[in-house]
Structure 1
Amino acid sequence: MNIALIAHIAVVVGFTIRLMLRNDLSPPARLAWIIVLILLPVFGTIVYVLFGEVDLGREARAKQRSIHDEVHRAAGGQLMGDPETLTDQISAAFRPVFGYAASINGFHPTTGNQGELMAHAAETRTRMVADIDAATDHVHALYYIWLTDRTGTEMAEALMRAAQRGVTCRVLADGLGSRGLIKSELWRRMGAAGVHLAVALPITRPIRTILTSRLDMRNHRKITVIDGTITYCGSRNTADPEFRPKAKYGPWVDIMLRLTGPVVAQNQLLFASDWMRATGEPPEALARPCPPLPDGFPAQAMGHGPTERRSSTPQLFATALACARERVTISTPYFVPDATVLEALCAAAYRGVTVTLIFPQKNDSWVVAAASHSYYRRLLQAGCIVHEYEPGLLHAKTLVIDGAACLIGSSNIDIRSFDLNFENNILLEDPAIAKAIEARQADYILASRQVTLSDVDAWPYHRRIWNNAVATVGPIL
């Protein structure tokens, strides 16, 4: 037995023991890692060391528990919503998904919320800048990607104007997604103008990060809160639709809601927890109640990340799908579901619900594209309708149930959003908002090509093999 074979066996056995000891892995993920380590021991070892452990470390977990307790203490009961709203204001059909969402962060439904769907990127930018220019107390902004393009610069300049007139402005940008901004002159100008700046999950010591955590655990949230009375929630980063870093896939098509009412405070609490994690600043000054508005609808925020309960996001999607009686329409740019979501989609279609899925025809991740395509046959055989959006990269993350309940935010239907990223979403019940989002989804469908089972059957063998091979290791992507 030569040295290479002994080393191979030692690597496979050692890492297999580690994989068997982990309680946080699903059987498919555990098997996928073992296959990679057996077939590609050197490559697999390197990849596992870099990306295998979905854990921020003991110190980070303890810190997160402390932050969670302090934020909830500062919030009290007023900002967390009222459990009785579930039975008083939510339709019986949707109570399971609102109830499940409450179990994730402790945020219960709030009443008296109002919302407006932004028409397009330009309106989002214009309205957000106008709201910041009208701010009198504070502006809080958290984004995964913040570029120094027109949108990023106009937002930054509005924040600088606000800070110079005495408004407290806090900006939190992800250390990887916004690395260009963090190194830029624009970032330095913001700090000089009095904007309080912080970096979420900074990559200042990459070797330590690799050894204790993962470089690709990111804060993927998109939150803006103005004076504690206005919040924006959706898929849009602080970037132009042309998205210069990946312009060949553009335009990036996003969706954004402008919301007012008590749910704003829950988004504020998510920001407060992330700000405290990055800076240590206590949340008392960050969490403020917002009174209910007349003729408003029920809504609640939810945040998820690697420090929260595992599998809560796929279970949320599955619960939402189980609530559907007539139709559910979903758009997502990245579709690599776990078994929970895949089976829930198929089950909904089998019981007669019209399940419509809208994905981008061209994807900036060839790995995700291949894995996504591997699920088409199962979905189509179950009766799901699949559309591929052609004009650009459809980045909007939307879910509408029976024309009444909606989920909108930053979460994709993929393993990364489920296990690795800090995400934020808002769940609401309002036929008017649902109708507006369904109309937007209809626009996406008009610009899409429907994929049929005969299309999938016509794919050449090598493509089907490739798609399924990539999907086999999907649980570790």
Structure 2
Amino acid sequence: MNEELYLIPRRKKGILHFIFSRTGIVLLFVAVQIAIFYSLYNWFTDYFKWFSAFQLVFSIGMVFYLFNDTMDYSAKLTWLFLIMIFPFPSTIFLWYTKKNIGHRLVKERSREMITETKQYLKQNEQTITKPEIVDSAMDDLCRYLNRSGCFPLYENTEVRYFPLGDDMFVTLLEELKKAEKFIFLEYFIVNEGHMWGSILKILADKAAEGVDVRLMYDGMCEVSLLPHNYPEKLKKAGISCKPVAPITPFISTHYNYRDHRKILVIDGRVAFNGGVNLSDEYINIGSRFGHWKDTAVMLEGEAVQSFTLMFLQMWNMTEHEPVWEPAHTSVQAKNDGFVMPYCDCPLDGEKVGESVYIDILYRAKTYVHIMTPYLILDNELETALKYAAQRGVDVKIILPGIPDKKSAYALAKTHYQSLTGAGVGIYEYAPGFVHAKVFVSDDEKAVVGTINLDYRSLYHHFECATYLYKTKCISDIETDFQNTLSKCRKVDGESIKHEKLFYKLLGSIIKVIAPLM
């Protein structure tokens, strides 16, 4: 395969290139729409004599509306603050986001996909009624998850844990070379470089052999990383490709819901899931934030079916005639505990990712150990963390020591005082950036996936994760946590007191709008 097809040339960064690029044109159209809305607002203000009184009455009505709305209380406080400062524009913006303009069709299509595919994966009743599952309340969790999707609890699945993206990458390349039927990839970030170039070369070779190769990436990649015509380029190599929620010149709440999932399925035999995107920093090449700590799992066996179906549900969202390949696998995997892949959709009103985390915290007996890049908590999750610690559970959270986003870093620090005061241990990874999303508890439960402890992951993104119960690799996950902990600095009263003034001020200022970030 020609090298030009699997290594993307870096685009020029000059101002003229940006102005006349697709991104520049999109931003221009968006700016024009904002200017039109602003002009209409000024026109109403100047033309109607009683506009101020109307605005006041309208704002009071919106306050009553907010108090009776079902949204999270942290979000309510944010909207109340905005309405107090900018009454009429804020109420219009709230109405706009609640109406989901430009996103209703996607929401309806998502429901259709879930309804149409629930029949494909059935829960094995013998698995869910086993004494150890009933005693641990895993059957309750499984039933909850299946209210909004199709997430069976599986046996006969082997799980391998990777403590670094570097480790996962080596195995991923080996597994890709074994593909015979299909390769499905769905990632938040795809970026040029050694990692993606190495993967893409294998994908092109496999496509030439007749393997069905499909790639999805989040539409934001088109703005910052990949050219707009990238799907056409890959089509020349026999690879089907599409962006999810591509950016267009028209304002829409559609852009608020990003595809943050990381799924790779090979032949319905093997699946990869975790925090690792397809970009060099995830394998510690060229990281700007010190050592990049990330994690992933590889599944082999029956549970791979769920990730196959998750991919196809997203792929078929934009297909006129959806085709559902058989999700079954003939792999004879050893019985390695219980595995339950699941996803979280921002369109169904269910906070699946947060609910699973809270379930672990409330049922923990000895410890809950967490790795997350961001800590932007709502009331429910912060209460669950504090309650677990206050009843004697060893709750520890590892966060980045070198942040990728100063605003997120500052917001995380606004929770330090409250959490440490309740007995939660907070640690910062001194060598660099933690991008892992891991919960491990009591040597028997763990979650590895894409779901951060922040508003965007818990409320606004398409996410996925792998729930593990009594699998052998749980000991590997806890060992990795302890190894990572040994490289961390502990947050205590003194470090909080002497925190940089910049982060204290930034955190306190932007915390009022944290649910909108």
Letter in 2 for 1:93: S
Of 371, 374, 382, 1:331 maps to 371
**Which residue number corresponds to residue 218 of structure 2?**
174
Q: Structure 1 residues 6, 256: CA separation in 2 closer, same or farther (over 3 Å shift)?
A: farther
For 1:51 and 1:100, the matched residues in 2 are separated by 27
Q: Structure 1 residues 387, 261: CA separation in 2 closer, same or farther (over 3 Å shift)?
A: same
**C-alpha contact (below 8 Å) 2:344/2:351 kept by paired residues:** no
**Which residue number corresponds to residue 428 of structure 1?**
468
Letter in 1 for 2:133: I
Q: How does 1:99-178 map to 2 (within 5 A)?
A: 99-177=143-221
Q: Is residue 92 of structure 1 aligned with residue 135 of structure 2?
A: yes
CA deviations 1:347-373 (Å, max 9, x no partner) are: 100111000101112322222222211
Return 409-418 or 296-305, whichever deviates more.
Answer: 296-305
Letter in 2 for 1:260: E
Shift in Å, 1:85 = 1.9
Q: How does 1:372-383 map to 2 (within 5 A)?
A: 372-383=412-423
Shift in Å, 1:189 = 4.0
Of 1, 22, 32, 2:78 maps to 32
CA deviations 1:177-229 (Å, max 9, x no partner) are: 455554178754421111111121111x231xx24x24232000000000001
Return 29-38 or 241-250, whichever deviates more.
Answer: 241-250
Q: Structure 1 residues 349, 183: CA separation in 2 closer, same or farther (over 3 Å shift)?
A: same
Q: Is there any run of 5+ residues in structure 2 with no aligned partner, and where? A: 1-43
Q: Is residue 241 of structure 1 aligned with residue 281 of structure 2?
A: yes
Q: Structure 1 residues 252, 280: CA separation in 2 closer, same or farther (over 3 Å shift)?
A: farther
CA deviations 1:262-318 (Å, max 9, x no partner) are: 110001111011001133452422633455623322111111121223323222211
**Which residue number corresponds to residue 458 of structure 2?**
418
**Which residue number corresponds to residue 81 of structure 1?**
123
**C-alpha contact (below 8 Å) 1:55/1:306 kept by paired residues:** no
Q: Is residue 342 of structure 1 aligned with residue 385 of structure 2?
A: no
Q: How does 1:38-437 map to 2 (within 5 A)?
A: 38-40=84-86, 57-73=103-119, 75=120, 79-88=121-130, 90=133, 92-93=135-136, 95=138, 96-177=140-221, 179=223, 182-183=226-227, 187-203=231-247, 205-207=248-250, 210-211=251-252, 213-241=253-281, 247-285=287-325, 287-290=327-330, 293-437=333-477
Q: Is residue 475 of structure 1 aligned with residue 487 of structure 2?
A: no
**Tell me, what secondary structure is at the counterpart of 1:370?**
helix
Q: Is there any run of 5+ residues in structure 1 with no aligned partner, and where? A: none
Q: How does 1:435-474 map to 2 (within 5 A)?
A: 435-459=475-499, 464=504, 466-474=506-514
**Tell me, what secondary structure is at the counterpart of 1:221?**
coil
Return 224-233 or 119-128, whichever deviates more.
Answer: 119-128
Return 388-397 or 50-59, whichever deviates more.
Answer: 50-59
Letter in 2 for 1:142: E
For 2:318 and 2:487, the matched residues in 1 are separated by 41
Return 305-314 or 4-13, whichever deviates more.
Answer: 4-13
For 1:421 and 1:347, the matched residues in 2 are separated by 27
**C-alpha contact (below 8 Å) 2:183/2:211 kept by paired residues:** yes
Q: Structure 1 residues 114, 330: CA separation in 2 closer, same or farther (over 3 Å shift)?
A: same
For 2:356 and 2:100, the matched residues in 1 are separated by 20
For 1:345 and 1:307, the matched residues in 2 are separated by 26
Q: Structure 1 residues 91, 391: CA separation in 2 closer, same or farther (over 3 Å shift)?
A: farther
Q: Structure 1 residues 286, 368: CA separation in 2 closer, same or farther (over 3 Å shift)?
A: farther
Q: Structure 1 residues 129, 268: CA separation in 2 closer, same or farther (over 3 Å shift)?
A: same
**Tell me, what secondary structure is at the counterpart of 1:233?**
strand
For 2:271 and 2:336, the matched residues in 1 are separated by 15
**C-alpha contact (below 8 Å) 2:300/2:331 kept by paired residues:** no
Q: How many residues align?
A: 468
Q: Structure 1 residues 292, 244: CA separation in 2 closer, same or farther (over 3 Å shift)?
A: closer
Return 277-286 or 121-130, whichever deviates more.
Answer: 277-286
**C-alpha contact (below 8 Å) 1:389/1:448 kept by paired residues:** yes
Return 466-475 or 425-434, whichever deviates more.
Answer: 466-475
For 2:462 and 2:101, the matched residues in 1 are separated by 13
Return 107-116 or 309-318, whichever deviates more.
Answer: 309-318
**Tell me, what secondary structure is at the counterpart of 1:193?**
coil
For 1:245 and 1:216, the matched residues in 2 are separated by 30
For 1:186 and 1:148, the matched residues in 2 are separated by 12
Return 414-423 or 183-192, whichever deviates more.
Answer: 183-192
For 1:236 and 1:61, the matched residues in 2 are separated by 27
**C-alpha contact (below 8 Å) 2:72/2:378 kept by paired residues:** no
**Tell me, what secondary structure is at the counterpart of 2:473?**
helix
For 1:166 and 1:340, the matched residues in 2 are separated by 49
**Tell me, what secondary structure is at the counterpart of 2:263?**
strand
Shift in Å, 1:439 = 1.6
Shift in Å, 1:460 = 6.9
Give me the CA root mean square deviation. Answer: 3.0
Q: Structure 1 residues 122, 314: CA separation in 2 closer, same or farther (over 3 Å shift)?
A: closer
For 1:450 and 1:24, the matched residues in 2 are separated by 37
**Tell me, what secondary structure is at the counterpart of 1:215?**
helix
For 1:230 and 1:242, the matched residues in 2 are separated by 21
Shift in Å, 1:440 = 1.5
Mark the structure with the bigger radius of gyration: 2
Letter in 2 for 1:67: M
Shift in Å, 1:450 = 0.5
